[in-house]
Amino acid sequence: MTGFSGKCLCGSVTYTSSRDPILVANCHCDDCRKSSGAPYSVNVLVPEDRLTIKGNLKEFTHAADSGNQMTKRFCGTCGAQVFGLGSGRPGIVSVKAGTIDDLDVIVPTRTVYRSSKIPSTPLDEGLEIFEKMPT
């Protein structure tokens, strides 16, 4: 497999990555939980220059606990968050796994921010687990 594609809930925003994921991580940080409305977010990281995006995106930027600037990109029509960017990892886009068409692409290898997880949320103990974001 090389690359993958996806779309927002209404299909107004579509994208294609010409590269397989660099990393797939389950993130339990407060930001991911609050922005997704889910117990954790599955983030699929790809190089920004390998991603082609079509559609009307809106943005929200905020400071993370690390001090990095985080930008959430979401569909201007349905509001679904599709991408995230962080100043700590320039040139890398975090694609929200729930927007990906080919579910076989979504194979997490690590869990981050275990220290922030909801106590009742189970963890896959077979993954590499970090209390916070590794450097």
- pLDDT tens sequence for the chain (135 residues): 689 999 999 999 999 999 999 999 999 999 999 999 999 999 999 999 999 999 999 999 999 877 889 999 999 999 999 999 999 899 999 999 999 999 999 999 999 999 999 999 999 999 999 999 887
- Is 124 within the bounds of a domain? no
Domain containing 81: what range?
A: 4-117
Residue 125 domain flag: no
Q: What is the rounded distance in angstroms from the CA atom of residue 31 to the CA atom of residue 37?
A: 10
Verdict on whether the full-model pTM lies above 0.75: yes
d(CA 6, CA 72): 17
Asked whether residue 29 is assigned to any structural domain, the reply reads yes
What is the CATH number for 60?
2.170.150.70
Please give the Cα distance from 59 to 71 (Å, whole number). 6
C-beta atoms surrounding 52 within 10 Å = 12
